[in-house]
Chain A
Amino acid sequence: MGEKTIRIPIGPQHPFLKEPAKFDFDISGEEIIGARMRIGYNHRGMEKACEERNYYQCLYLLERICGICSHSHTTCYVQAVEDILKLEVPKRGLYLRTLVCELERLHSHFLWLGVAAHEVGFDTLFMYVWRDREVVMEILEEISGNRVNYAINTIGGVRRDLTEEQRKKILGSLDLLKKRLDYYTHIGTHEPSFLARIQGVGKMSKERAIQMCAVGPFARASGLDVDVRRDDQYAAYGDLDFKVITSDQCDVLGRVIVRVLEIAESLKMIQQLLTKLPEGDIAVKKVPRRVPAGFSISRYEAPRGEDVHYVRSNGTEKPERVKVRAPTMANLEAATESIVGSFIADIPIAIASIDPCFSCTDRTAVVLNDKKKGMRITTWEELRRYGVDWYRKNKGIHF
């Protein structure tokens, strides 16, 4: 490290952080030469709380993991539970579920574009984008009755049907969004002062993105062609015609491009969903309250990236374990690393470029190092050696 480095702490309270997280930057002049991050300020113990609730109550708890991608977490969870129960969800239910998924992606990406503009001081774009986000919010309210926590998912389908008038109304609002989106795409990729702030900022190469397990639009902006909607099709995505957007820019500009083009793809998908909407039931009529013993892992492409839920059941009304890996968790390390080498002024936009959601991702670690009770800390190396030895001894497998 240089001789004249200052460490500036950012967070847990800072105007650019919408939620608490802590970053430490070593700076020399205006350049950043080291970055570390720490989470754990907003841990809510939801996974543990799930073990105390039945499967339906968990649904409403998990909906509150995230204020923006609430539908993502419930969908991911119900998919896992439906998989354990071996339920066949009716086609119409799947379509409606996918419809809300895509609307949620729309409003999340609109929100992100506004936040990104705000981080670089472009408040006009911020206000414009958030005004049009209202259109999406109104559609969501029309469908589900709620603006943020839609509560439309249930185990085995969805809770609300879509009437013919609603369908027409939504199709009508899409035209306005399409028109406005073209304008924002142009602004976001052509406005000189905005470009000056996002081009070449927060570089993350494709190789490094793979190593850091980046997901979602962040990974796709580094040229990584991953999308759970196509790679591991769920809900109604198998019936839809859509492109996975990638960009080779590897910087914040790439993330803007990927997100605005994804909005366009989402609009197309919503149109397809509404025109193809099949008739029939929206949910499975009878769902058993007790879930047979088993486990399932469910993947879901949330607006921020791949969301993973693991659910293990033990034959009772309550799940034995629910494990959530929100996309921010996968991207945070990579984002922190991508800042090194850029300027202090780039910190907000570089971190915001993954669309961080710290509350979703927050977890806590309790270190139990009580020697009297026979507890001790095991390092990763020791754990690995133990695993190798165990397989050699018990299964005869040599690594």
Chain B
Amino acid sequence: MDAIKVLIYIAIFPGFLFQSVFSTYLEWLDRKLYARMQNRLGPLYTGWNGILQPVADILKLFAKEDIVPASADKFMFNLMPVLSLASVFAAGLYLPIWHLTSYNSFEGDLIVVAYLLAIPSFALFLAGWFSVSPFSLIGATRVLTQLFAYEVPFFLALLTPAVMAGSWKIATISSYPWTSGSWWVIPVQLIAFGVALLTLQAKLERVPFDSPEAETEVVGGPLTEYSGKKLGMFRLQKDILLFVGSALVAALFLGGFGGGIILGCIQLVLKTIFVVILLSVVRAACARIRIDQIVTFSWKYLAPASLVQLLIVLLIKGWKGVA
């Protein structure tokens, strides 16, 4: 019986099906908001107000011809989309969707999720590297450069609530304000929340950090040579990364209260939508900055800011410990 239950967890909820459906909804929301902020209408025709447009886009890609360049490394070229999709799915299984916890939550799952979320960037780099075309090579090196820029501030920002709650378990961190009754930790961690948002934006390669796949500069970046199913997988991976990333940030920084499976799930969904809205605003308000400017920005402002935040949290912890 347990085996069937786990299978349902992985395949339907909160696994594959739920993640795919909800992440395409998030993409629609992001596109619609982005469009409205630009005085456009956004998707309109597929489903209610174009809500099925992301699904239609991905299905269309799955039906298209799949081309592997002659000079590309076939094995790596085919492996990378699957690898990156699998890693984000796996990361999504640890999200505290189950009245503030996940069914397989354990002490240290934050580190596992952070690790799993780093794989898509490497997969993207390798995908570009093994497609062997000038544009994908430039895109691939940019992916890697950008990874070195945002990964450290991202981890430092995730560390802050973990230190606050004194746990490596996402579920414990998420429910810390509620269980300990100290709701003031949410405003205290605002700097880390901001850093996490910006680095998440960089991880998702969205404006202003979309240099690796800047259309006007490097055509499609690492994905220039991809088509058909594999491009579809990368698209889906991107959507799910948007969901998992924003849900993770929402769970760590925005707190929550219990209330059973349904209420817990609704909470997470609403918090995630809130984070996606913030990400869309950032996307609409900026121009794309250059790769060297991204590195400078990350190390000059984001990393010190998250260190300052860490210091604040440690001081508070110390002061509380004494008192």
Contacts and interface: CB of A to CB of B under 8 A. Distances in A.
Interface stretch (A8-16, A166-174, A307-315, A316-324): A8-16
B59 interface: no
Interface string A122-133: 111101100100
Given A30-B292, A343-B290, A123 B38 contact: yes
B211 A345 contact: yes
Contacts of A15: 215-216, 219
A193 interface: yes
A128 B288 CA distance: 17
Interface string B126-164: 000000001100100000000000000000000000000
A121 B293 contact: no
Interface in A184-209: 191, 193-194, 196-197
B8 to A, nearest CB: 41
Nearest to B220: A15
Interface stretch (A55-63, A112-120, A221-229): A112-120
Interface in B270-292: 284-292
Contacts, number: 74
B38 A121 contact: no
Contacts of A30: 291-292
Interface in B211-233: 211, 214-219
Contacts of B71: none
A6 interface: yes
Nearest to A121: B288
A6 B288 CA distance: 24
Contacts of B292: 30, 343
A6 B15 CA distance: 44
B287 A128 contact: no
A34 interface: no
B318 to A, nearest CB: 36
Interface in A18-34: 30
Nearest to A17: B216
A212 interface: no
A196 B216 contact: no
B210 interface: yes
A193 B208 contact: yes
B14 to A, nearest CB: 33
Contacts of B210: 121
Given A196-B289, A197-B289, A119 B216 contact: yes
Contact of A345 (B39, B134, B215, B290): B290
Given A124-B284, A128-B38, A16 B216 contact: yes
Nearest to B296: A196
Given A6-B134, A127-B38, A347 B289 contact: no
A21 B243 CA distance: 41
A127 B283 CA distance: 14
Contact of B290 (A122, A124, A128, A197): A197
B38 A14 contact: no
A194 B285 CA distance: 10
Contacts of A118: 216
A196 B207 contact: no
A221 B138 CA distance: 31
Interface in B284-309: 284-293
Nearest to A116: B287
Nearest to B208: A193
B40 interface: yes
Nearest to B137: A6
Given A8-B134, A128-B38, A131-B39, A121 B214 contact: yes
A344 interface: yes
B134 A121 contact: no
Contact of A348 (B138, B211, B216, B284): B216
A251 to B, nearest CB: 14
Contact of A122 (B39, B135, B288, B291): B288
A183 to B, nearest CB: 13
Contacts of B79: none
A60 B293 CA distance: 48
Interface in B156-212: 207-208, 210-211
A31 to B, nearest CB: 10
B37 interface: yes
A124 B134 contact: no
Interface of B: 37-40, 134-135, 138, 207-208, 210-211, 214-219, 284-293
Given A8-B138, A193-B208, 20 more contacts: A15-B216, A16-B215, A117-B287, A121-B207, A121-B287, A121-B288, A122-B286, A124-B285, A191-B287, A193-B287, A196-B293, A197-B289, A343-B290, A343-B291, A343-B292, A344-B138, A345-B211, A345-B214, A345-B291, A348-B216
**3 tightest Cβ-Cβ pairs between the two chains A and B:** A121-B288, A122-B287, A127-B38
